[in-house]
Structure 1
Amino acid sequence: MYSREEVKQLKQLFWTKFGQYMSLHSAADGEKVSWMNYKTGVKHLYFKMDADNNTAKIAIIWSHTDAGIRALMAEQFLQYKNLLHDILGEEWEWDMDSCDEYGKPICQIYRTLEGHSIFKEEEWGELIAFFKPRMIALDEFWSSAKYAFDIFK
């Protein structure tokens, strides 16, 4: 069992190493990008990566407080579903009625990797191999689809 401080330090070390590794890659549009804090330019719309003691998750999350806006954004993503899955090279889960860790309503499109721990440094290679191509693919998708979401800015 890890103390709260050890958990914080291990997570911080992993994400720092991941960020350093990803800093070698430019965005699809050739610009420099902060992979860890990816800016979609749309309020309440995020690309999020997370990992814990058994699961890694990468997701597109939108969390507008207005259910109608969340539904409109979901419709917009559905219009781009085939493009998204083609660029990702795989199908992702679509959850249009979920809540975040604070109980706030969200919609999300995500992929998980089970059985790998951020607390085991020997598994960091598998976690990076999970996150890296998917984050690069999300960036490629966003460079094509972002203009359709300008109405939500």
Structure 2
Amino acid sequence: MFNKEEAKEVRIEFWQKLNNKTRRLPGQKGRKKFWIFDNTGIKGLDLRFDVDREKARVALEINHTKEGRRLQLFEKLEAAKTLFEAEFGEPLIWDFTYEKPTGEMVCRVYTECPGDILNKDLWPDMTYFLIDKMMKMEQAFLEVKDYLQSNLNE
């Protein structure tokens, strides 16, 4: 088992390796592809990786500070669920009351797989899952982005 400092170092190593792998994606030409807090062009809507001791997740997260705006975005996204999931290629988990470890409530559409960030033997499969699903999540988001932006009350 790892002590607190060792676990922190392993987590940092995981994220560094994942960042290095995103440099080698087709069409990147050596540039990193950042998805965490990626600028989606819609305030309060982000693409996220989430990895802990139990699972690896890829999510489209609606984390706007105003609950009304958050729910409005989620409802619009849910209205496009058929198109979104068709573009993604499989069913997703839709959660309008997802509680993050910090206690913050957000809306999330995500997929997950078993994993443990501290188990280096699982990293190759987790990394493949994260990159593959994020590419699909990004493509699905781009299909509905214009619709999500239309008629939003700021």
Tell me if TM exceeds 0.5.
yes
| Residue identity opposite 1:94 in structure 2 | W
Q: TM-score, normalised by structure 1?
A: 0.84
SS at match of 2:109: strand
Distance 2:53 2:4 in 1: 13
TM-superposed CA distance for 1:144, in Å, is: 2.5
Is residue 2:91 matched to residue 1:91?
yes
Distance 1:38 1:62 in 2: 12
| Residue identity opposite 2:93 in structure 1 | E
The match for 2:138 is 139
Root-mean-square deviation (CA, aligned residues, Å) is: 2.4
Distance 1:12 1:63 in 2: 24
Matched-pair contact (CA < 8 Å) for 2:51–2:57 = yes
In structure 2, the CA distance between the partners of 1:137 and 1:97, relative to structure 1 (3 Å rule), is same
Matched-pair contact (CA < 8 Å) for 1:48–1:58 = yes
TM-superposed CA distance for 1:86, in Å, is: 1.4
The match for 2:50 is 50
Matched-pair contact (CA < 8 Å) for 1:63–1:107 = yes
Matched-pair contact (CA < 8 Å) for 1:87–1:141 = yes
| Residue identity opposite 2:10 in structure 1 | L
The match for 2:118 is 119
Matched-pair contact (CA < 8 Å) for 2:92–2:109 = yes
The match for 1:130 is 129
TM-superposed CA distance for 1:70, in Å, is: 1.5
Matched-pair contact (CA < 8 Å) for 1:42–1:152 = no
Stretches of structure 1 that go unaligned for 5 or more consecutive residues are none
Higher relative contact order (CA 8 A, sep 6+): 1
Matched-pair contact (CA < 8 Å) for 1:88–1:138 = yes
In structure 2, the CA distance between the partners of 1:36 and 1:97, relative to structure 1 (3 Å rule), is closer
TM-superposed CA distance for 1:21, in Å, is: 0.9
SS at match of 2:85: helix
In structure 2, the CA distance between the partners of 1:56 and 1:79, relative to structure 1 (3 Å rule), is same
Stretches of structure 2 that go unaligned for 5 or more consecutive residues are none
TM-superposed CA distance for 1:92, in Å, is: 0.9
Which one is further off, 97-106 or 130-139?
Answer: 97-106
Is residue 2:75 matched to residue 1:75?
yes
* 4+ aligned runs moved over 6 Å, structure 1: none
The match for 1:41 is 41
TM-superposed CA distance for 1:36, in Å, is: 4.0
Percent sequence identity is 24
| Residue identity opposite 2:87 in structure 1 | I
Distance 2:66 2:81 in 1: 22
In structure 2, the CA distance between the partners of 1:98 and 1:52, relative to structure 1 (3 Å rule), is closer
TM-superposed CA distance for 1:13, in Å, is: 1.0
